[in-house]
Homo-oligomer: A and B are copies of this chain.
Amino acid sequence: MSDLPLIVAMETHDIRFPTSLELDGSDAMNPDPDYSAAYVVLRTDSGVDGHGFAFTIGRGNEVQTAAIAALEPYVVGRRPEDLGALYKEMVHDSQLRWLGPEKGVMHMAISAVVNALWDLKAKIEGKPLWLLLGEMSPEELVSLVDFRYLGDALTPGQALEILRRAEPGRAERIARLKAEGYPAYTTSPGWLGYDDDKLRRLCREAIADGFTQIKLKVGADLADDVRRMRIAREVCGPDFRIAIDANQRWDVGTAITWVNALKEYEPYWIEEPTSPDDVLGHATIARALAPVKVATGEHVQNRVIFKQMLQAGSMSVLQIDAARVGGVNENIAILLLAARFGVPVCPHAGGVGLCELVQHLAMFDYVAVSGSRRDRVIEYVDHLHEHFADPVVIENGRYLAPLAPGFSAAMHPESISAYAYPGGRVWAEETVRGGVA
């Protein structure tokens, strides 16, 4: 393996987009986000680079960037050989672990670095990440997972069994992905900051664009939510899936009351009804609101909380995020857990580059883990893709399978430079600086 390139430097960048100037991205808990990336580039001696990032929504992105920099000793001077071992080394660092363990800023930093290593590895192998993973043997995939704390729900043997069961159909599913892509749903119509006319227009556009599911943000004002949900249902018709998303706004009791008041408009799922830490609370809500599904995961910190949510029946839709848990490796563990419990994975996306990343994980799941696209959709939000070198391509409501080598994580150098905070060109402009809180 010594012909792999040597990582010779790690660069970090604090990149922020002044999205709070528009009301894109506004929801009940996040009224004014400035979508940001704590961005990392791993430079090698061969000229191939690995790119990764943690997504944040503005303030504190410098802390996130500092956390990534703290991981430099783990990668500089190393080669991207065994990414299972390297991931576990970082997660188990006996001193850094105290800052989590496996949660929050430090874990998101590990995510960024692990994902950058996978971007590098996939470029070296000349394959898009979903295909690189989708062609690995079940044994190789199992070696990437940290099974600590999973023993009462998923053993290495059980994981192997899941992966072996999906092996026979891999080639056919790879071909289908290349031909058909993967279904998407769109959140673009549903931001809280949009008025009714804009909601109506964007619902019509979503249908025209071939989507079969949209999502509305809810949770700020019940009367507004009833009105917006009625409008969306009128425009979309009775058989169209409309999910709703409270972004953690409620206590358990409020979640049940509020969603019951929207039930006549048949929400497909209620997303993040309460704290992402509340396994038992989600289970109570799920029992009370069935058949409305409960979806959560974008803020679930790690596989230990996902494990419990599956054990307790807290969710009937599992929403992985590509850049919050410990990167590709921990997401493989979570996909395996979901498969073991028979719960469909519908990834969270949006923000900065989350669509670009997470499509690879959903496609890998289809190829090699669950083997199914049934009731599975990847979130799509039409923001900020222009800053990426290999942006997602959506056609007729579907993500087309990315074919370029890597993890689609690289941003254009001009974007990195222009949106650098606080020194970049965009932030130097008076209008932006004055407009952002």
Mark A residues whose CB is within 8 Å of B: 29-34, 56-60, 62-64, 66-67, 70, 93-109, 148-152, 248, 251-254, 274-281, 284, 299, 301-302, 304-305, 307-308, 311-312
Partner of A152 from the list B34, B93, B281 (CB cut-off 8 Å) is B281
> What residues of chain B lie closer than 8 Å to A301, measured between beta carbons?
103-104, 277
Q: Are B152 and A284 in touch, CB under 8 angstroms?
A: yes
> What residues of chain B lie closer than 8 Å to A67, measured between beta carbons?
60, 63, 105
- Inter-chain pairs besides A33-B98, A152-B252, A279-B280, 11 sampled, C-beta below 8 Å: A30-B94, A32-B95, A33-B95, A60-B96, A103-B277, A149-B281, A152-B253, A277-B304, A278-B308, A280-B308, A280-B311
Alpha-carbon gap, A108 to B103, bound state (A): 12
Q: Are A63 and B66 in touch, CB under 8 angstroms?
A: yes
**CB closest residue in chain B, given A254:** B151
> What residues of chain B lie closer than 8 Å to A253, measured between beta carbons?
151-152
Q: Are A276 and B95 in touch, CB under 8 angstroms?
A: no
> What residues of chain B lie closer than 8 Å to A312, measured between beta carbons?
280
> What residues of chain B lie closer than 8 Å to A56, measured between beta carbons?
95, 98-99
Closest 9 CB pairs of A and B: A104-B104, A151-B251, A105-B105, A58-B95, A59-B95, A152-B252, A277-B304, A149-B275, A66-B66
> What residues of chain B lie closer than 8 Å to A149, measured between beta carbons?
251, 274-275, 277-278, 281
Q: Are B104 and A107 in touch, CB under 8 angstroms?
A: yes
Alpha-carbon gap, A63 to B54, bound state (A): 15
User: Of A67, A109, A276, which is in contact with the most chain B CB atoms at under 10 Å from its CB?
Assistant: A67
Partner of A98 from the list B30, B95, B106, B109 (CB cut-off 8 Å) is B30
Partner of A29 from the list B70, B97, B277 (CB cut-off 8 Å) is B97
Q: Are A251 and B150 in touch, CB under 8 angstroms?
A: yes
- Closest chain-B Cβ to A254's Cβ sits at a distance in Å of 7
> What residues of chain B lie closer than 8 Å to A106, measured between beta carbons?
60, 63, 104-105
> What residues of chain B lie closer than 8 Å to A70, measured between beta carbons?
59-60, 62-63
**CB closest residue in chain B, given A276:** B101
Alpha-carbon gap, A224 to B21, bound state (A): 61
Q: Are B60 and A94 in touch, CB under 8 angstroms?
A: no
Q: Are B34 and A95 in touch, CB under 8 angstroms?
A: yes
Listed by A's residue number, 11 A-B pairs whose Cβ atoms lie within 8 Å are A29-B97, A30-B94, A59-B70, A60-B95, A63-B66, A103-B104, A105-B105, A277-B304, A277-B305, A279-B308, A280-B308
> What residues of chain B lie closer than 8 Å to A98, measured between beta carbons?
30, 33, 56-57, 60
Alpha-carbon gap, A59 to B100, bound state (A): 13
Alpha-carbon gap, A145 to B29, bound state (A): 19
Q: Are B59 and A93 in touch, CB under 8 angstroms?
A: yes
**CB closest residue in chain B, given A73:** B59
Partner of A299 from the list B101, B107, B284 (CB cut-off 8 Å) is B101
Q: Are A275 and B304 in touch, CB under 8 angstroms?
A: yes
Alpha-carbon gap, A63 to B150, bound state (A): 29
Alpha-carbon gap, A57 to B97, bound state (A): 9
- Closest chain-B Cβ to A330's Cβ sits at a distance in Å of 13
- Closest chain-B Cβ to A152's Cβ sits at a distance in Å of 4
**CB closest residue in chain B, given A324:** B98
> What residues of chain B lie closer than 8 Å to A281, measured between beta carbons?
149, 152, 308
**CB closest residue in chain B, given A278:** B304
**CB closest residue in chain B, given A97:** B29
Alpha-carbon gap, A279 to B306, bound state (A): 12
Q: Are A252 and B30 in touch, CB under 8 angstroms?
A: no
> What residues of chain B lie closer than 8 Å to A102, measured between beta carbons?
275, 277
